[in-house]
Amino acid sequence: MLRIGLTGGIGSGKSTATGALAELGALVVDADALSREVVAPGTDGLSAVVERFGEGVLDSDGALNRSALATAVFDDEDARRELEAIIHPRIATRTSELMASAAPDQIVVHDVPLLVEKRMGPNYHLVVVIDAHQGTRLERLVQQRGMSEAQARARMDHQASDDQRLAAADVVLSNDGPVHELQQATRALWEQRLVPFDENLRADRVARPAQQAVLADYDPSWASTAQRLTERISAALGERAPEIEHVGSTAVAGMPGKDAIDLQIGVRSLSDADDPQFVQALSRLGFPRIDDYRMDHPTDALPDPSLWVKRFHGSADPGRVVHLHVRELGSAGWQYALLFRDWLRAEPDAAVEYVDVKARLSQEHGLNNGYAEAKAPWFSSIWPRMQAFAQRTGWTD
């Protein structure tokens, strides 16, 4: 089951996107709606709130006066935490119940206003952020919700910043224009990424994206993407993956490279990587194993193939190419990947040389297997230089 976390700043237009997704067949779980449901009249949640905050938080009909409650906790951190201790467990229980009710082939969209603030990103396969400029959001809150400008700004200031939300986003949908533009973008996301991702996930199948160029301009988002993926994998594997590192070309700031995120997952033993629970945890996260890829290319200095054994997982997400290299901590492959990355980071001339080698060989061999084989002699040739760098700098993995 594909799980999507959806968020955005107040006034960004999340409801427009979730409405479109629901029409397309998604099960939308609205955290705001659940926060009202668990304190509806007659619930034990409302009784607990009244017991803690008094009858003054009720309206004349005995329902929760949300404005009065907000006033009671707005600038009182302890009170806010006590309220969360009452409401959040009830919301979590109800959320689990709704998600469990989804059909096997149904995509679940969890609309959570405070997804970023609560650091919930690792709970989902993708995080979608609905983005709108602050001025646009402010205007909507004043005109559509009847807030004063001061009230609207205060609500906005108590949420994550735009930069924090964008750093947490796998997908950003802009909502500064007409409503139909966001609806159209949402439908495109559904058809081109979410549905294929869900189908691949259920089939335990790696996505087959179009052939990628060897060299793309450096993208600053590569680092934040790798960080999000690392957090998800770490949450799924726990102590079974003591170390996870961003390696490869996208891990070298400023250097062009293939638009594919390479992550190295360190395990104490490859038997850990072969444990069915380990394999299933990555598969459920959207990273099926590719069993016929089990070896790094040995260098001339270390030709023993047994030193270069690994496991490999690809990505089921058609919108993001990811390579997971599972290697034993301290193995030749583990050390080479880290040393190569750090050498390129520290030696700009080496990074330029690597880019030139890739450009030349891709022209000579295209992007077939001949290209990968043609790079092997260069990787062997730079080993002494990398070793000299390690000795000079006191490098360790």
Q: Give the pLDDT confidence of 294-331 residue by residue, as tens digits.
A: 988 887 778 898 889 999 999 999 999 999 999 999 99
Q: Tell me the binding residues for ATP.
A: 11-16
Q: Letter for the amino acid at 167?
A: A
What is the predicted pLDDT for the residue at 367?
Answer: 64
Domains and CATH numbers, the chain: 3-203 (3.40.50.300), 221-393 (3.30.460.10)
What is the predicted pLDDT for the residue at 368?
Answer: 64
What is the predicted pLDDT for the residue at 147?
Answer: 85
Ranges of the chain whose pLDDT falls below 50: none
- 3-state class of 289 per DSSP? strand
Distance CA 217, CA 355 (A): 11
Q: Tell me the binding residues.
A: 11-16
Q: State the distance between the two ends of the chain, measured CA to CA, in whole angstroms.
A: 37
Residues shown for the chain: 397
Distance CA 392, CA 396 (A): 11
Distance CA 39, CA 43 (A): 6
Q: Which of 172, 167, 185 is nearest to 133 (CA)?
A: 172
Give the residue carrying structure tokens 């000079």: 392
Q: Which of 21, 31, 30, 28 is nearest to 102 (CA)?
A: 28
Output the pTM of the full model.
Answer: 0.91
User: What integer best gives the mean pLDDT of the chain?
Assistant: 93
Written as one string, the DSSP assignment of 32-86 is HHHHHHTTSTT-HHHHHHHHHH-GGGB-TTSSB-HHHHHHHHTT-HHHHHHHHHH
Q: Which helix (H) or strand (E) holds 152?
A: helix 149-157
